[in-house]
Amino acid sequence: MLRLHFFAGVLVAPFILIAAITGLLYVLTPQLEEAIYGQQLHVPATEDQVPLSTQVNVARNALPEAELKAVRPAATSTDTTQVIFTALELPESYFRTVFVDPHDAEIRGVLDTYGSNQALPLRAWASELHRGLHLGDLGRVYSELAASWLWVVVLGGVALWFGRRRVTRKLRMRPPGRTRVLSWHGVTGAGIGVGLLFLSATGLTWSTFTGGNIGKVRETLSWETPAVAKGLPMRVSCEQSDRRIDIGYDQVRQVATHHGLTGQVEITPPEHIGAAYTVQETGRSWPTQQDSVAIHPVTGQITDSVRFADYPLMAKLSRWGVDAHMGLLFGWPNQVVLAALMIAAICVIIWGYRMWWLRRPTRGFGHPPSRGAWRRLPIPLLLGGVLVTIGVGCAVPLLGISLLAFLCVDALLGMRGTVASEDSARRPSG
């Protein structure tokens, strides 16, 4: 355990450190967005109100070549309406959003936004930095590697810390040196362990390789997030659908409001003849508002609905976990907790390297823990550990591949050390 924690800390901690620093930057972006993009996000409150369909048409005229994706009506009298378009020149998951004043239909700005939460350019930049260092798919390997090893490092460190004698687990202020740094490293690491495990688990759901495996498990166990059916009932779509007749965005919003969708919503127009409008609540703070309905484009009837209260438990936990990871679930208190967690993690990593520096090999006692301790384990425990490791390595591929590489390199170094020792023993003395 000590050897694994030592090498994982030395070799993988730089990736975790980068993830913590970029994550801290991301946590601070909501307030920065309000300051930087206030012109686009907010307007003076007045009693005048332009029909939502008019606002959408104004945005369409501003971007005639783009395809309308969705509309987010102004949630309050001081918010702008966001009309969201897709554009061929934009990367995947990016959209072009027109911000319209709901009181006079004036365009307040046009910005490229990202993802389902419509992150503005600053947050989108910080998100991509945290996810992949702006290096594309190759860069995402770094964040998945960090999330894959984070829980291993944390569990190993906590086990080692609580395995120490009680008197040695206290926070020490003196004397200076490695013992004091070890106490800071251990006490702080144990204190934030649960939070780091949470970030590791939720972070892996976004990852390329492990995230795919998690998605398969959720699909197999029916833990996926439910969605409304966009298609119309056959008898209704055949008899009443007509492109020339459409109730429009204003009535769609009224129907959704009457059905209980009173918070922030996103209205998606029908994708084709025979499809419905969909209205989805976008509130991701507590209590979560994620209800959705499908509305017939001609009759205004509700053709399907999904309530967040009816989500499977695992779908709810997934929603809450992701939102808490992003600092959205409880608003600014969530941000404060995440920022404190990231700062503490950065300190733990720095203290870990400080301990290594105080015992570096050039000082004569900085060698890593000796190898071969596994030989003293009971055979059943050893075999069980091997099977569990193989299973975890398959489920979390980057962890498995990097651990296998470490074991191979460690074995080669051990063989070289053994050969060198034998040569030295055969060499005639003085």
pLDDT at 365: 45
pLDDT at 166: 60
Q: Are 20 and 349 in contact (CB under 8 A)?
A: yes
Question: Residue for token digits 């319209």?
Answer: 100
Strand partners, 280: 266, 292
Integer-rounded Cα radius of gyration of the chain: 28
Three-state SS for the chain is CHHHHHHHHHHHHHHHHHHHHHHHHHHCHHHHHHHHCHHHHECCCCCCCCCHHHHHHHHHHHCCCCEEEEEECCCCCCECEEEEEECCCCCCCEEEEEEECCCCCCEEEEEEEECCCCECHHHHHHHHHHHHCCCHHHHHHHHHHHHHHHHHHHHHHHHHHHCCCHHHHCCCCCCCCHHHHHHHHHHHHHHCHHHHHHHHHHHHCCCCHHHHHHHHHHHHCCCCCCCCCCECCHHHHHHHCCCCCCCHHHHHHHHHHHCCCCCCEEEECCCCCCECEEEEECECCCCCECCEEEECCCCCCEEEEECHHHCCHHHHHHHHHHHHHCCCCCCHHHHHHHHHHHHHHHHHHHHHHHHHHHCCHHHCCCCCCCCCHHHHCCHHHHHHHHHHHHHHHHHCHHHHHHHHHHHHHHHHHHHHHHHHHHHHHHCCCC
The DSSP bridge pattern shows strands 277-281 and 292-295 to be antiparallel
As a whole number of angstroms, the distance between CA 147 and CA 16 comes to 8
pLDDT at 105: 94
pLDDT at 317: 92
pLDDT at 359: 74
Q: Are 15 and 141 in contact (CB under 8 A)?
A: no
Q: In tens digits, what is the pLDDT along the chain, a chain of 430 residues?
A: 888 888 888 889 999 999 999 999 999 999 999 999 999 999 999 888 999 999 999 999 999 999 999 999 999 999 999 999 999 899 989 999 999 999 999 999 999 999 888 999 999 999 999 999 999 888 899 999 999 999 999 999 998 888 876 656 677 676 777 788 888 898 999 999 999 999 999 999 988 899 989 988 888 888 888 999 988 876 554 445 555 578 999 999 999 999 999 889 999 999 888 899 999 999 999 889 999 999 999 999 999 999 999 999 999 999 999 999 999 999 999 999 999 999 999 999 999 998 888 876 655 444 566 666 777 788 888 899 889 989 999 999 999 999 898 888 877 877 776 665 666 666 665 5
Give the Cα-Cα-Cα angle 94, 49, 68 (nearest 5 degrees). Answer: 25
pTM of the model: 0.86
Q: Are 399 and 36 in contact (CB under 8 A)?
A: no
pLDDT at 243: 53
